[in-house]
Structure 1
Amino acid sequence: MLAGLVAFSSAAPALAAPALPAGDPSAVVSSLNSSLLAVMQNAQKLGYKGRYAALEPVVRQVFDVAYMTRIAVGSGWSTLSDDQQAQLVDAFRRFITATYARRFDGYSGEKFVTDGAKSVGDSTLVATRLIKSDGEPVVLNYLTREDASQDGRWQVVDIYLTGTISELATRRSEFAAVFRRSGYDGLLEALRQKVSQIETDSRVS
């Protein structure tokens, strides 16, 4: 369970995505952690497909995937049509959801702790820890930003694994290189293949 965290059927009603407070970054992150904990506690019953179904609306609400995709693609983003941008955003959202469904695949007494928030320019960094059953903490800090187009709702735009490793920077390094080499079609196919591989790995694990 959570093997790749640091390296990096329908859901039950209790796992439905909660309505998010518009102006509270810490509450947004807490809602994500609560959803992840519920999925972990029901992981075996749900299976991979059930975990994916439970997490998809959570990812849609909590993460500003459009912003994250634009940053990950880099300067080439402006050369894409609206439809191409929408296709990449959808593919990236599926990849994020699949990654979480794969990572949070069991429960053995873990809990999440929120350690407060601080302003970072126009953004807010929310510090959290995942406490493993043996007491070992895994630091997961979430960078959030306010989206004026979403009625001022705060959403996650980056995750710092172990507190310092930017997942968005890692994705930008990877995805921008694919885009430069293979263009829109190549990046879209790469994202789809990643999701397919996660699904395959989940069936055999």
Structure 2
Amino acid sequence: MHTRRFLLLAPGLLAFATPALAQGGPVQVVENFHNALLGIMRNASQLGPRGRYERLAPIMAQSFDLAAMTRIATGSNWTALPPAEQAALADAFTRWSIATYAARFDGYSGETFQTIGTQTLANGDTLVRTRLNRTDGEPVILSYLLRGAQPRIVDVYLTGTISELASRRSEFAALIREGGVPRVMQELESRTARLLA
């Protein structure tokens, strides 16, 4: 499993036939996601990249607010896009995000996830701090930012401080300068194909 390269990359507008996870408060949302992820990791070899993708798709669609994450990653450019382009970009970002998890969580060697605390922010969002315990190295601190009346994840902080969406926003801004939203979609689709090859 490539935990050293772990970063959350996210959205998903998908309809796969899988039982819905029981949703609850912020901690329950994160722990449900972790439990499902561990199950996929334990069966990673049998599933292969595409099998892991299919298992992850409904879990990520339910645990993450993937449309909001697409908007945040796109930044101020989002509002200038017609609805059809917004939907296409969100779909491409979703597929890439799921494929990234499928490629990175490609095995199991005794890892565990542990919730270590929560914090309610001034705007009402909740930060759920967790630890990925590894048998072959130092633990990885992952903090999840959740938002909404039915809370879903809108960002992940690696080592507690590195915002995944801030990284994506910077990267997307550069791609948009190169060739607009079509350039971003081309890059995302290319990456997804490589990850699932």
Q: Is TM (by shorter chain) over 0.5?
A: yes
**Aligned positions of 1:25-36 closer than 5 A:** 25-36=26-37
**Residue matched to 2:13:** none
Distance 1:43 1:136 in 2: 22
CA contact (8 A) 2:70 2:90 kept: yes
In structure 2, relative to structure 1, the CA distance for the partners of 1:182 and 1:110 (3 Å cut) is same
Task: Determine the C-alpha separation between the residues in 2 that align with 1:7 and 1:189.
Answer: 21
Larger RCO: 1 or 2 (CA < 8 Å, sep 6+): 2
Q: How many residues were matched structurally?
A: 188
In structure 2, distance between residues paired with 1:126 and 1:83: 34
Matched, 1:182 2:185: no
Question: What's the offset of the Cα at 1:160?
Answer: 0.7
Give 1:129 shift. 0.6
Q: Give the structure-1-normalised TM-score.
A: 0.86
Q: Does 1:144 align with 2:143?
A: no
- Residues 43-58 of structure 1 mapped to structure 2, 5 A cutoff: 43-58=44-59
Q: State the alpha-carbon separation in 1 of the partners of residues 98 and 179 from structure 2.
A: 24
Partner amino acid for 1:46? L
Residues 191, 16 of structure 1: CA spacing in aligned structure 2 closer, same or farther, 3 A cutoff? same
Alpha-carbon spacing, 1:74–1:55, altered in 2? closer, same or farther (3 Å): same
1:153 is paired with a residue of what secondary structure?
coil
Whether the 8 Å contact between 2:71 and 2:78 is mirrored in structure 1 is yes
SS in 1 for 2:129: strand
**Cα drift, residue 7 of structure 1:** 7.0
1:196 aligned to 174, 187, 193, which one?
Answer: 193
User: Conserved in 1, the CA contact under 8 Å of 2:7 and 2:164?
Assistant: no
CA contact (8 A) 1:16 1:54 kept: no
Residue 162 of structure 2 corresponds to 165
Q: Does the CA-based 8 Å contact 1:17-1:35 persist in structure 2?
A: no
Structure 1 partner of 2:67: 66
CA contact (8 A) 2:33 2:63 kept: yes
Q: Trace 1:16-165 onto structure 2 (pairs within 5 A).
A: 16-21=19-24, 24-122=25-123, 123-134=125-136, 136-146=138-148, 152-165=149-162
2 CA distance for matches of 1:135 and 1:5? 13
Which ranges of structure 2 fall in alignment gaps of 5 or more residues?
A: 9-16
